[in-house]
Chain A
Amino acid sequence: QVQLVESGGGVVQPGGSLRLSCAASGFIFSTYGMHWVRQAPGKGLEWVTFIRYDGSSKYYADSVRGRFTISRDNSKNTLYLQMNSLRAEDTAVYYCANGEGGDYVAFDIWGQGTMVTVSS
């Protein structure tokens, strides 16, 4: 079945780094744009970043630009989020989500999320 499974979350100290992964299955990964969305504890949803199906275009929220990097490996059906210079305010559940086709398409499937806690 169509599925996205995130991994790589954990506890990290402020200023530290973490890399999240999102493994895709059940659909043609290389034809889908991919997003990361996060949700701080008890808060709403915040879009973080997007990568086009072929990796040729990327967008970032101002809150993470210059610190986070999105990438993908279509041969492994996997999406990544490299998070550097982490801050307490980056503490959240991180979800990946897909959207078929171009840059301006609706989300389709969401993963179950992975928790990132930034704390000393």
Chain B
Amino acid sequence: DIQMTQSPSSLSASVGDRVTITCRASQGISNYLAWFQQKPGKAPKSLIYAASSLQSGVPSKFSGSRSGTDFTLTISSLQPEDFATYYCQQYNSYPLTFGGGTKVEIK
């Protein structure tokens, strides 16, 4: 199984900050990497697919990138509605696997 190591597990940031979350795959997954946002008590929401493509309706403050087996989610200017938990997921091979999540909290 492919392991997805996400870091940090939590972070505190202020409104307006630039935030970066990293996900590392245990083996090559090409660009088969997605990012999800989940708010407390709610279902996850798809943000990014194919490492860097925004899902329809997702604001451009979210961006994704890839360097080898390292993937990054960046929020350019954190807003109150962005405080949530973020997960990466590989869909290169089964079983599909998720990172452990990054909780973004208000500083």
Q: Residues on A close to B: CB < 8 A?
A: 35, 37, 44-47, 50, 59-62, 95, 99, 103-113
Contact = CB atoms under 8 A, between A and B. Distances in A.
Q: Size range of the interface on B?
A: 20 to 34
Interface of B: 32, 34, 36, 38, 42-46, 49-50, 55, 87, 89, 91-101
A99 B36 CA distance: 14
The binding surface of chain A is classed by DSSP as loop
A35 B96 CA distance: 10
A113 to B, nearest CB: 5
CB-CB nearest 10 A-B residue pairs: A106-B49, A47-B96, A59-B94, A110-B43, A45-B98, A106-B34, A44-B101, A61-B95, A112-B43, A107-B46
Nearest to A6: B43
B50 A106 contact: yes
Nearest to B100: A44
